[in-house]
Amino acid sequence: MAVNEAERRAMTRALELATFGPRGVNPQVGAVILSPDGDVLAEGWHHGAGTPHAEVDALTKLAPGAAAGATAVVTLEPCNHTGRTGPCAVALIEAGVARVVYALDDPGAVSGGGAERLRGAGVSVDSGEQADHAHRIIDGWLTAQRLGRPHVTVKWAQSLDGRAAASDGSSQWITGPEARADVHRRRAAADAIVVGTGTLLADDPSLTARDGDDLYPTQPVPAVIGSRPIPADAAIRRHPHAALAYDTHDLPAVLADLHGRGIQTVFVEGGPTLASAFVAAGLADRVLAYLAPVLLGGDRLALTDVGVASIDQARRLTVDEWVPLGADLLAIAHPAAGAPPRATNAAPAPDAAQESDISHEGAR
C-alpha cells in the first residue's frame, strides 16, 4: 500500500516532534496517530530514558478504543522488546491500529523486529518514508548502535585552493560571520567537541558553543587529544563542562571511552593533523567543509596525509547538501558507497605535538 499525502504530512510532523526529545542513550522519536480519514488524533514523542516511547506517548492521549482502525506514523520502527517500557509493537496491536508507517528500521538486535511482529498480527506496514531526514536526526544513536562508538563529524574551513591558513599561520578569519555562526550552532548540537593539543596551545580556545556573546543552553563536552598538558590558565578550564584529556594517539580508544560516557556525537575541530587522522582511520562519518572564496597558496593545507597513495585509493564522498552561508559555501558530505571500510583497529593518530602551532579557524 503506497504512502498517501496525509501520511507524508504526518511524517513531517513526527520528525519535528522527534526533535523535542532529549539526545541521549535513547533515540529521538516522534509519532502521529491518524484516523482512517487522515485526521490527526494524537501526537507524541519520546521524553527520555524510562518514559513512554513516542507511540505510547501518543496513544495515552486517546480514549480507550479511539485508535481502532487508525494509522500510526512513526520516525523509527516500533520496538519489539521489553526494557524499562513494553514493546511498542504490542501496544499498537492491542490498541487496534490497522496501519503503521515508519521512516527507519531499528538496527538493534534485541529491539528490532517490530515491523515483522506487526505484520504477523495483520497490521499493514510501510517503511522508508523520509528516511534520510530521520537518519539525520538520530545519526549519533544509529552509529552507536551499529558500531559501538559515537558518530563523528570532522569540520574544517578552507580557502578555495584548499588552504587552512596563510603562510605565516594566520587563519582568522578565512570564512565570514555567517559560516562561523553556523559552526557554533552545530557545536551546540554535538555531545563533545574534540581538538588536539597543537590547536589548544596555539589558539587557547574556549570550545564553547556561542550565540553571539551568549552561550547556547546546551554545550559540548570538550576533549583534548595529545601528550602535552592543558595549561592551568587555559580558557578551556572555564568551560561549563570539565575537559577530558587523552594522552594517547589511539583514536578508537578515545571514541570507546567517549561512548562509555554516553557521548553519541563528536565534533572534531582540531586542525589539519587531527582532522586528517580521523579521516585516515576511517572514522569520519560526516565531513563539514566550509569553503571561502579566497586564495592563499602555500603549504598550509586543510588536510595532510589521509593514506591516499594513488587516485584509486581516493576517499570519495557523497555530498548531502551544499549550504550557502553569506559569501561562503558549506559542503556536507559522508563517505560514498564502496569507500574504504571504517577501521576497527585504526593506526594511531599522528602525534598531536607535531601539529603546527598555528591558529585554526573556528576552534575558539
User: From start to end of the chain, where are the E strands?
Assistant: 30-34, 40-45, 71-76, 99-104, 124-127, 151-159, 192-196, 210-211, 214-215, 221-225, 244-246, 265-268, 286-292, 317-325, 328-335
Cell of residue 109, nine digits:
538486535
Coil, strand or helix at 13:
helix
Q: Which of 55, 77, 129, 361 is catalytic?
A: 55
* Cα Rg, the chain, nearest whole Å: 23
How many residues in total does the chain contain? 364
Closest CA to 13 of 50, 67, 58, 47: 58
Coil, strand or helix at 94:
helix
Coil, strand or helix at 212:
coil
- The CA-atom distances, in angstroms, between 93 and each of 99, 236, 245, 279 are 10, 51, 49, 45
- 55 included as an active-site residue: yes
The residues annotated as belonging to the active site are 55
